[in-house]
Amino acid sequence: MTTHTSYDPNALCDLAEIAARTAAPALLTAFRSEMSVAFKRDAHDVVTVHDKAAERVISTVLQRGVPGSEVLGEETGSSGDARLRWIVDPIDGTANFARGLAYWCISIAAELDGEVVAGAILDPVAGNMFAAADGGATLNGTPIRSASAADGRATLLTSFPTQHDVDLLGDGAFELLAQITRSYQHHHSTGSGALNLAHVAAGWSDATMGFDTHPWDVAAGAHILSRAGGTYTGFRGGVPANRPQHSLDYVATGAGGDHRALIDGVRDLSARWAPEAE
Ligand code: IPD
Ligand code: CA
Ligand code: CA
């Protein structure tokens, strides 16, 4: 993309991919090297110098590609008030990244006039680029399609319940975990909500969910999943959210499966803690 402003979703998607690929080599070099970890909300919420450096690189590439565009980044917040907003998580799964576990990604969404129109999620260790603009979703350029079994035969990827979830939801978190444990064939705690969404989009898993999420955790993944035929159901205060990036709590599923009981469970807990207004 040149310096003229282009709002074509395919061009925005290409630029998001370029930005992610530009940041990836330094992250791969840092991965499994000595690094110090700082804390944000609490001792479970970690950040490294590499998160911040990657976000700077990504923002530079995006704003050079579309001058005047705004970036909402996890590490630096929001800059400006433009029609085009990039929603950036430089590392989703920082706890894994810092510990040497190979389940983390770079997540970038392009939001135009409030709607996400393109998303790219790069898993640099596996060499997987999940992406979607206004056509179908792709993995390394090849079309992907989600698929979902009903809960009894389904695999659920989630980080739930995190310590923060337990603080927020109390015993309700363990009650929902018991329901999940009984009704799903497998459930795995992964540490990267964005990569979970990408894996459901690719058909490698059936469903994913989370509480008290942020726009940068879900914007790209929800878009890729929906372009792969899946469904993202988001809530704020138990009320359906208009857009994934405005939701706090969510269940996302591949095409076909019936996950009503999980959706109801998340909605009920969502109603107990979160504010409704967007
Ligand atoms: C976290 C991951 C994790 C989720 C947390 C997020 P981060 O993002 O997505 O799966 O449970 O709520 O904050 O901090 O690694 O970017
Ligand atoms: Ca994140
Ligand atoms: Ca992050």
Residues 213-243: pLDDT tens digits? 999 999 999 999 999 999 999 999 999 999 9
CB of residue 249 inside a 6 A radius of ligand 1:
no
What's the confidence (pLDDT) of residue 78? 83
Instruction: Name residues with Cβ closer than 5 Å to ligand 2, which is an ion.
Output: 89, 92, 217
pLDDT at 67 over 80: yes
Strands (E), 93-229: 105-112, 115-123, 128-132, 138-139, 142-143, 155-158, 186-189, 207-210
Which percentage of the chain shows pLDDT scores above 90?
A: 87
**Taking residues 1-21, what's their average pLDDT?**
84
For residue 278, pLDDT beyond 70: no
C-beta 92 within 6 A of ligand 1: yes
- CA 15/CA 1 separation, integer angstroms: 7
**From 3.30.460.20, 3.40.50.360, 3.30.420.40, 3.30.540.10, which CATH number describes the 9-141 domain?**
3.30.540.10
pLDDT of residue 3: 39
> Can you tell me the mean pLDDT for 105-113?
98
Question: Minimal CA–CA distance to 146: which of 249, 235, 241, 221?
Answer: 221
pLDDT value for 4:
41
Q: Does any ligand 1 atom lie closer than 6 A to the CB of residue 191?
A: yes
Position in ligand 1 atom list of the atom nearest CA 104: 15
Residue 5 has pLDDT above 80, yes or no: no
Tell me how far apart the alpha carbons of residues 94 and 170 are, in angstroms, rounded to a whole number: 25
The fold for domain 151-273 equals D-Maltodextrin-Binding Protein; domain 2 (3.40.190)
| Dist. CA 187–CA 202, nearest whole Å | 17
Beta carbon of 159 within 6 Å of any ligand 1 atom: yes
Q: pLDDT grade, residue 41 (50/70/90)?
A: confident
What is the average pLDDT across 159-182? 96
Average pLDDT over residues 45-59: 94
Q: Write down the pLDDT at residue 162.
A: 95
Q: pLDDT confidence of 277, banded at 50, 70, 90?
A: low
Domain limits, CATH 3.40.190.80, in the chain: 151-273
Residue 172 has pLDDT above 50, yes or no: yes
- For ligand 3, the distance from its centroid to the CA atom of residue 256, given in whole angstroms, is 30
Question: Which pair of structure tokens corresponds to residue 171?
Answer: 């015993």
* Distance of CA 217 from the midpoint of ligand 2 (Å): 4
Q: Cα separation of 79 and 63, whole Å?
A: 11
Mean confidence (pLDDT) of the chain: 94
For a ligand 1 pocket test, name from 51, 74, 89, 92 the mutation site with the most ligand atoms within 8 angstroms of its C-beta: 92
Q: Report yes or no: 221 and 251 within 8 Å, Cβ to Cβ.
A: no
Taking residues 160-187, report their average pLDDT.
96
Which regions of the chain carry the CATH code 3.30.540.10?
A: 9-141
Please tell me the predicted confidence (pLDDT) of residue 178.
Answer: 98
DSSP string of 126-157, one letter each residue = TTEEEEESSS--EETTEE-------GGG-EEE
pLDDT band of residue 173 (cuts 50, 70, 90) is: very high
Instruction: Give the model's confidence band at 2: pLDDT under 50 very low, under 70 low, under 90 confident, else very high.
Output: very low
How confident is the model at residue 150, as a pLDDT? 82
Instruction: Write out pLDDT tens, residues 13-37.
Output: 999 999 999 999 999 999 999 988 8
**Residue among 57, 61, 51, 53 nearest 15 (CA):** 61
